[in-house]
Structure 1
Amino acid sequence: MDFQPFSYRADPAVPPFPDDRAVLFFDGVCVLCSGFARFVMRHDNGARIRLCAAQSPLGQAIYRHYGLDPVKFETNILLARGRPYFKSETFIETMSILGGVHSVWRLLRLCPVFIRDRLYDPIARNRYRWFGERNACYVPGPDDRGRFLE
């Protein structure tokens, strides 16, 4: 899939949101996904990444905009500089934005996307069974609420 940067801005179904920083859309009831979101918050000292639960109205609209199932959330989505990243690229680009020691994950790009995503897909498909599922979306603490989009 090749999308024009910031294509969501022209989609009337996507509500406007601040996109001056990267935004990570994640499954808020998935223990693995919300754990990744907490990891990002802990290690993103420069607050370069905002977060948004896929279950939110904005998250739903973004998933629909990119032709993805707005119920199953079989990939996190990272929007960085208006460009969408999916599956393994979401993880790699998020780590790149965090910088420092996390940048080493960019080496995964030496492996072709189709191989990386063949490893990603079974984890995404089985994430609730393997890691668990919350009854409600992850709720950030008071110190982190400003980093979340609704």
Structure 2
Amino acid sequence: MKAEIKQLILFDGVCNFCNKTVNFIIKKDKKDQFRFASLQSKIAQDFISGLPSNTDSIVYVRNQKVLVKSTAALYIAMDLGYPFKILAIFRLIPTSWRDSCYDYIAKNRYRWFGKIDQCEIPTEHNRKKFIS
């Protein structure tokens, strides 16, 4: 299954901010290019098994390449197209700086946005976009 997936976003399924972000991406994904799985799913574990253990908020599998943190977020924005691809300008900032900001938000996401007990169930319309 791993070889068939080109654009997969792995996200924290119990994070309110992450769920809202996924819903936003689905709404803006006019090319129907993204698929999603929660980090708590079996398929996500296959992709993140070789990543650092603190990889707990976003992973973007783009054309078989695994991207994390701010790099993942920027490539998702780029792949969404205009106007979001304008955010690519932030790739000029050193990754360590971008990831420091990203880590700060990720560390506080539950406190700021809340947490749910289990992964959100996708609507009937969006169910085909999720891989379990």
Q: Give aligned-pair identity as a percent.
A: 27
Per-residue CA deviations over 1:12-37 (Å, capped at 9, x if unaligned) read xxxx3463430000001101111111
Give me the whole-angstrom Cα distance separating, in 1, the residues matched to 2:18 and 2:31. Answer: 21
Q: TM-score, normalised by structure 1?
A: 0.82
Query: Which residue among 23, 27, 39 is the counterpart of 1:42?
Result: 27
What's the counterpart of residue 25 of structure 1?
A: 10
Structure 2 gap ranges (5+): none
What's the counterpart of residue 91 of structure 2?
A: 109
Q: What is the DSSP-based 3-state SS (H/G/I as helix, E as strand, rest coil) of the residue aligned with 1:85?
A: strand
Amino acid in the other structure paired with 2:62: A
Do the aligned partners of residues 18 and 137 (structure 1) sit closer, same or farther apart at CA in structure 2, a change above 3 Å counting? farther
Query: Which residue among 34, 38, 61 is the counterpart of 2:46?
Result: 61
Please show how residues 56-95 of structure 1 align to structure 2 within 5 Å. Answer: 56-69=41-54, 73=56, 75-95=57-77
Per-residue CA deviations over 1:92-143 (Å, capped at 9, x if unaligned) read 0001111111111101111111111111111111111111001110211001
Q: What is the DSSP-based 3-state SS (H/G/I as helix, E as strand, rest coil) of the residue aligned with 2:79?
A: helix
Per-residue CA deviations over 1:36-65 (Å, capped at 9, x if unaligned) read 111110000111111111111111232223
Amino acid in the other structure paired with 1:121: D
The reply on whether 1:138 has 2:123 as its aligned counterpart is: no
Q: What is the number of residues matched between the two proteins? A: 132
Q: What is the DSSP-based 3-state SS (H/G/I as helix, E as strand, rest coil) of the residue aligned with 1:84?
A: strand
Do the aligned partners of residues 40 and 59 (structure 1) sit closer, same or farther apart at CA in structure 2, a change above 3 Å counting? same
Give me the whole-angstrom Cα distance separating, in 2, the residues matched to 1:41 and 1:97. Answer: 12
Aligned-residue Cα RMSD (Å) equals 1.5
Which stretches of structure 1, 4 residues or more, deviate above 2 A after TM superposition? 16-21, 65-69
Q: What is the DSSP-based 3-state SS (H/G/I as helix, E as strand, rest coil) of the residue aligned with 2:37?
A: strand
Give me the whole-angstrom Cα distance separating, in 2, the residues matched to 1:109 and 1:121. Answer: 16
Give me the whole-angstrom Cα distance separating, in 2, the residues matched to 1:91 and 1:29. Answer: 18
